[in-house]
């Protein structure tokens, strides 16, 4: 079962309203995405925790409906 980029963005945005999100559909098959998420919510969190927060926003779809999401996270630049 594939997901569309807009759905992924919507789910992340719902959890982190200030997030800047860019998503690329890597293979054009709706199954392999790369996402870059920038939000102040990541402040003080380790990289592992930041990724866990995004996975949580995706509500268990990661590793299931979402086979491949290459994820990078960052704090907003001042």
Partner 1 sequence: MSPQQDVQDWIRKTIAQNDVVLFMKGTGQMPQCGFSSQVAQILGHLGVDYKDINVLDDMGIRDGIKAFANWPTIPQLYVKGEFVGGCDIIREMFQAGELSQLFDEKGISYDKSKMTA
- Shortest gap between Cβ of 13 and partner 1 (angstroms)? 20
Residues that bind partner 1 (CB under 8 A): 47-48, 51-52, 55, 60, 62-64, 68, 70-72
Residue nearer to partner 1 on the CB measure, 19 or 51 = 51
Contact between 11 and 53 (Cβ < 8 Å): no
Residue nearer to partner 1 on the CB measure, 17 or 62 = 62
70 to 44, 56, 78: CA distances (angstroms): 22, 15, 25
- Shortest gap between Cβ of 45 and partner 1 (angstroms)? 13
- Shortest gap between Cβ of 72 and partner 1 (angstroms)? 6
DSSP, collapsed to helix, strand or coil, labels residue 39 as coil
Residue nearer to partner 1 on the CB measure, 5 or 34 = 34
Distance of CA 54 to the CA centre of its chain: 5
From CA 52, how far away is CA 33, in angstroms rounded?
17
């Amino acid at each position: 079962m594939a997901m569309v980029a807009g759905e992924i963005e919507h789910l992340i945005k719902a959890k982190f309203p200030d997030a800047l999100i860019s998503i690329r559909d890597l293979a054009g098959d709706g199954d392999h995405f790369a996402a870059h998420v920038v939000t102040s919510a990541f402040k003080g969190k380790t990289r592992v925790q930041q990724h866990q927060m995004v996975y949580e926003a995706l509500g268990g779809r990661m590793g299931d409906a979402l086979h491949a999401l290459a994820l990078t996270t960052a704090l907003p630049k001042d």
